[in-house]
């Protein structure tokens, strides 16, 4: 039976570490990390995510400022808000809640964020830094996954890692993070042939497809480390991951549950990135 990786516990440990670092920063420099969150429109799921992020910021002792813009906002309004926040010395991180309403171009808006304040790690500058093996701000979910592995002392170097999913926010940045740590990487997607054969090779298997329980025990190598990023709400309301947990847990060496695995790490890493941004900006 696999060891269950407790993301809630690890995320809580990190949040306590961040809180202590904030106290230290306030004592030494009189600076409090500040995060600005921007929500355009009123997508209910985005509102819930944002509330969790803001609560986490306040618990950590950060300043959290929220900017809610109407659904029909013009791109120029959002760009001028971001430019103002780029100049604001009390704000160290800027988070633009995605997805944006359809009429807006997310790439152009993200590129306006000062890369030093891009705590989501989505700006092409930060993606380029990750690509060249010298990361600065890295996307929170992939960074959280690496932290889960590290805090369990699970080795990555020389391991065969398979990631199911190639999104810009999870699959691709995670592939680069693992590659930078000398794993051998395969990234799968909807046009991958013989998916089960590929996933069965994995010593580290990451499921980030957003498809309920598609990873069955027969697709998993004996003793694999299985990380489940998926969050899927079934009819009736039950939350499941991309991994068929009960059967895969019998075969894996380590496994993350849903909920309580990768999810809490994303917010913890947002706090870490914002704290790092504050350190960088005050040392300039």
Q: Which of 262, 271, 272, 281 forms a contact with ligand NAP (CB under 6 A)?
A: 262
Q: Does 189 bind ligand NAP (CB under 6 A)?
A: yes
CA distance 181 to 98: 29
Which is closer to ligand NAP, CB of 70 or CB of 124?
Answer: 124
Which is closer to ligand NAP, CB of 182 or CB of 233?
Answer: 233
Give min distance, CB of 264 to ligand NAP, in A.
8
Candidates 56-64, 118-126, 146-154, 160-168: pick the segment binding ligand NAP (CB under 6 A): 160-168
Give min distance, CB of 187 to ligand NAP, in A.
8
Give min distance, CB of 115 to ligand NAP, in A.
21
Q: Which of 25, 56, 169, 226 forms a contact with ligand NAP (CB under 6 A)?
A: 169
Tokens of 180: 């930078």
For the question of residue 47 being annotated catalytic, the response is no
Q: Does 210 bind ligand NAP (CB under 6 A)?
A: yes
CA distance 114 to 96: 12
For the question of residue 120 being annotated catalytic, the response is yes
- Report how many residues bind ligand NAP under the rule CB under 6 A: 26
**Sign, CA torsion 140/146/149/153:** negative
Q: What is the largest CA-CA distance in the chain?
A: 57
Q: Which of 31, 32, 167, 186 forms a contact with ligand NAP (CB under 6 A)?
A: 167
Long-range contacts from 169-175, C-beta under 8 angstroms, 24+ separation: 169/122, 169/139, 169/141, 170/139, 170/141, 170/142, 170/208, 170/229, 171/206, 171/208, 173/121, 173/127, 173/130, 173/138, 173/139, 173/142, 174/141, 174/142, 174/145, 174/146, 174/206, 174/208
For the question of residue 53 being annotated catalytic, the response is yes
Q: Which of 156, 209, 226, 244 forms a contact with ligand NAP (CB under 6 A)?
A: 209
Q: With beta carbons less than 8 A apart as the criterion, state whether 159 and 184 touch.
A: yes
Which is closer to ligand NAP, CB of 115 or CB of 144?
Answer: 144
Indicate the DSSP class of residue 243: B
Q: With beta carbons less than 8 A apart as the criterion, state whether 185 and 191 touch.
A: no
Which one of the listed residues 6, 114, 118, 120 is annotated catalytic?
A: 120
Active-site positions?
53, 97, 120
């Amino acid at each position: 039976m696999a060891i269950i990786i407790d993301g809630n516990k690890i995320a809580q440990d990190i949040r306590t570490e961040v809180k202590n670092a904030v106290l230290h920063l306030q004592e030494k420099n009189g600076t409090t990390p500040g995060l600005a969150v921007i929500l355009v429109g009123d997508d209910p799921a985005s509102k819930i995510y944002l509330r969790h992020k803001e609560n986490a910021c306040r618990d950590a002792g950060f300043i959290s400022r929220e900017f809610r813009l109407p659904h029909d906002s013009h791109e120029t309004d959002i760009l001028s808000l971001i430019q103002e926040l780029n100049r604001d010395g009390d704000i160290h991180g800027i988070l633009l809640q995605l997805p944006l309403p359809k009429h807006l171009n997310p790439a152009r808006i993200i590129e306006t964020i000062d890369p030093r304040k891009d705590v989501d790690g989505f700006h092409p500058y930060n993606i380029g830094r990750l690509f060249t093996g010298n990361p600065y701000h890295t996307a929170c979910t992939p960074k959280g996954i690496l932290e889960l592995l590290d805090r369990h002392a699970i080795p990555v170097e020389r391991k065969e890692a398979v990631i199911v999913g190639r999104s810009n926010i999870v699959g691709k940045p995670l592939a680069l993070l693992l590659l930078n740590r000398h794993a051998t990487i395969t990234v799968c997607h909807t046009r991958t042939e013989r998916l089960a054969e590929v996933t069965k090779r994995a010593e580290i298997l990451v499921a980030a497809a957003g498809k309920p329980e598609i990873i069955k025990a027969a697709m998993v190598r004996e003793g694999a480390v299985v990380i489940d990023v998926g969050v899927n709400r079934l009819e009736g309301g039950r939350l499941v991951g991309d991994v068929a947990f009960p059967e895969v847990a019998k075969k894996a060496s380590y496994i993350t549950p849903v909920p309580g695995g990768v999810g809490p790490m994303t917010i913890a890493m947002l706090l870490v990135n914002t704290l790092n941004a504050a350190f960088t900006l005050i040392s300039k």
